[in-house]
Amino acid sequence: MSHGPEISRQSDAIVPLLLFALFLLASPFTLMWAADTSPWYLPYMLWLALIGLIAWANHRPGAP
């Protein structure tokens, strides 16, 4: 009753999501979406996309 491969597959999906979140929220890219000329709802849309990707990674058919 080993859970090794299942945990490995889940962590494989989490690493790219973490890197995407860091790129989106803690990089010079932040200056583009936080500019005065961007729509007020853009940060909320980015958070929604990030939450949606995390939910998808946790509930996809191959996930434990």
Q: Which residues of 5-43 are buried (b: 16+ CB within 10 A; e: fewer)?
A: eeeeebeebeeeeeeeeeebeeeeeeeeeeeeeeeeeee
pLDDT of 10 reads: 60
User: What's the pTM?
Assistant: 0.66
Contact criterion met (CB below 8 Å) for 59 and 10: no
Domain range list for the chain: 7-59
pLDDT in tens, 19-59: 888 888 888 878 888 888 889 998 899 899 989 988 888 77
pLDDT of 6 reads: 56
The band of 2, judged by pLDDT with boundaries at 50, 70 and 90, is low
In the predicted model, what is the mean pLDDT of residues 2-12?
59
